[in-house]
Amino acid sequence: MFDYMYEDDVQVMQMIYIPKRLFSSPAYSKLSAKAKVLYALLLGSSEREGMTKPLYSDYSIREICDDLCCSSNEAAELLTELSMYKLIAYGKDRIIVNDFEEREGL
């Protein structure tokens, strides 16, 4: 039998947060659920080199494969899907994470 979860239990867990708008906005209605999860993982692993610099992630294909239990081909397809929706862009050796709210008008 399982025990109940309590607030203290949840606070020590490592969580990712998926922006609800990725599910509720018509602009993202055809974006796959797995791509939405990957976007949340990229957001959670993002850093910034300064206030005027964009968010970037050094999340590797290997990490994506491990975290999403997928092949490298599927990981590449998910990144392509996010790129098509302009949720990410590619910089030198990194993934630039774009603001999903600015992309909704596309």
Structural domain contains residue 67:
yes
Mean pLDDT value across residues 36-50:
86
Largest CA distance in the chain: 51
- For residue 38, being part of any structural domain is answered with yes
Average pLDDT, rounded, for the chain: 86
pTM for this predicted structure: 0.82
Asked if residues 97 and 42 have their Cβ atoms less than 8 Å apart, the reply is yes
For residue 49, the enclosing domain spans 17-103
Domain of 39, CATH number, reads 1.10.10.10
The answer as to whether 2 is a domain residue is: no
How sure is the predictor about 91, in pLDDT bands with cuts at 50, 70 and 90? confident
Name the residue with higher pLDDT: 47 or 105. 47
Q: Is 55 a domain residue? A: yes
Amino acid at 21: R
Average pLDDT for 16-37: 94
Which has more pLDDT, 46 or 84? Answer: 84
Number of separate domains in the chain: 1
Q: Is a pLDDT exceeding 80 seen at residue 97? A: yes
Mean pLDDT, rounded, for 52-76: 91
CA–CA gap between residue 72 and residue 2 (Å, rounded) = 35
> Given this model, what pLDDT does residue 3 score?
78
Question: What residue type is assigned to position 65 of the chain?
Answer: C
